[in-house]
């Protein structure tokens, strides 16, 4: 009978030992999963939910400009196309272009392009000859600049704005804002956006 009790006692002890081992293994797994030394998940960079181009008409005051309340806003969808089929700017005017990019959490991202100015530059192509001129205002990045409308366009133009990332900016010093061969400077496109623009006489026919 005594031997029988010892056998039962050893069986219970074995069960407790196995349970203790299982709990210890679980604790190790839990610690490993929460370890601060684990690499953090990589957050996708420069992925946009939407981009907005704000063309704010300026008034000239000698050697500087004042912004007016007249703004033409071009909103782009995730497909890179403008959400409206028609946008007018007045001829013989100057506009400040302010590009605002939003990530999927609704946060603005355009400041990152200027903070990394040595890696970013925007080009705008597709304008008819002699209609537009553009001057960078942000260390030659292009997300803020002055757009001059030199004369009316012949109907609507389809413009393409490309923000390149990782290009060799030492080679773009002689390049213009509307260089159609910008891909030769290397890098890749952060965004490629298309929108129709009509430069009209006077007050135009609506925005």
Question: Is residue 14 in a domain?
Answer: yes
Among the listed residues 73, 137, 138, the one whose alpha carbon sits nearest the alpha carbon of residue 112: 138
Verify that 5 and 76 share a domain, yes or no.
no
Distance CA 84, CA 76 (A): 9
Range of weakest confidence among 26-35, 112-121, 173-182, 197-206? 26-35
Q: Parallel, antiparallel, or unpaired: how do β-strands 188-200 and 157-165 relate?
A: antiparallel
Q: How many CB atoms lie within 10 A of CB 79?
A: 9
The answer on 89 and 26 residing in a single domain is no
Beta strands in the chain (DSSP E): 50-61, 64-76, 88-90, 93-102, 120-125, 132-136, 144-149, 157-165, 188-200
Cβ–Cβ under 8 Å, residues 119 and 167:
yes
Task: Judge whether 206 lies within some domain.
Answer: no
Q: Is 144 domain-assigned?
A: yes
CA distance 134 to 51: 19
**7-29 pLDDT, tens per residue?**
444 555 564 455 554 444 443 33
According to the model, what pLDDT value does residue 38 have? 47
- Is the model's pLDDT at 48 over the cut of 70? yes
More confident site: 10 or 98: 98
Tell me the residue range of the domain where 3 lies. 1-34
Q: Do 106 and 25 share a domain, yes or no?
A: no
**Contact (Cβ atoms closer than 8 angstroms) between residue 38 and residue 60:** no
Residue 69 sits in the same domain as residue 167: yes
One domain, residues 116 and 189: yes
Nearest in space to 155 (alpha carbons), one of 95, 97, 94, 87: 87
Q: 86 and 176, same structural domain?
A: yes
Q: Of residues 64 and 80, which shows the higher confidence score?
A: 80
Tell me the mean pLDDT in the region 63-78: 90
Mean pLDDT of 1-5: 42
Residue 154 shares a structural domain with residue 69: yes
Tell me how many domains the chain contains: 2
**The CATH number of the domain where 150 resides is what?**
2.60.40.1080
Residue-wise pLDDT tens digits, 115-146: 999 999 999 999 999 999 999 999 999 999 99
205, part of any domain: no
Q: Do 59 and 150 belong to one domain?
A: yes
Both 30 and 55 in one domain: the answer is no
Does the residue 45 lie in any domain?
A: no
Mean of the per-residue pLDDT values of the chain: 82
Instruction: Specify which residues 199 forms β-bridges with.
Output: 89
Higher pLDDT pick, 11 / 198: 198
Rounded Cα distance between 155 and 196, Å, is 10
Give the pLDDT confidence score for residue 33 in this predicted structure: 33
Residue 41 sits at the vertex; the CA angle it makes with 38 and 43, to the nearest 5 degrees, is 150
42 located within any domain: no
Q: List, for residues 102-111, the tens digit of each pLDDT value.
A: 988 889 999 9
62-66, 86-90, 119-123, 179-183: least confidently modelled range? 62-66
77 shares its domain with 23: no
- Indicate whether 103 and 30 sit together in one domain: no
Same domain, 103 and 164: yes
Residue 13 within any structural domain of the chain: yes
Specify if 27 maps to a domain.
yes
């Amino acid at each position: 009978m005594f031997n029988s009790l010892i056998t039962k006692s050893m069986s219970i002890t074995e069960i407790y030992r196995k349970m203790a081992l299982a709990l210890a293994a679980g604790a190790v797994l839990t610690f490993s999963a929460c370890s601060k030394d684990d690499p953090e998940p990589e957050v996708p960079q420069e992925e946009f939910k939407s981009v907005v181009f704000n063309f704010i008409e300026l008034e000239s005051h000698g050697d500087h400009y004042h912004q007016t309340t007249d703004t033409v806003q071009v909103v782009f969808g995730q497909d890179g196309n403008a959400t409206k089929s028609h946008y007018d700017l007045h001829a013989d005017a100057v506009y400040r272009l302010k590009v605002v990019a939003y990530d999927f959490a609704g946060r603005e991202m355009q400041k990152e392009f200027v903070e990394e100015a040595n890696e970013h530059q925007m080009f705008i192509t597709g304008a008819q000859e002699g209609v537009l001129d553009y001057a960078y205002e942000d260390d030659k990045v292009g997300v803020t600049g002055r757009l001059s409308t030199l004369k009316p366009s012949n109907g609507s133009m389809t413009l393409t704005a490309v923000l390149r990332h990782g290009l060799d900016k030492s080679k773009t010093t002689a390049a213009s804002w509307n260089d159609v061969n910008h891909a030769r400077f290397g890098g890749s496109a952060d965004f490629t956006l298309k929108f129709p623009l009509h430069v009209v006489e006077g007050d135009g026919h609506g925005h």
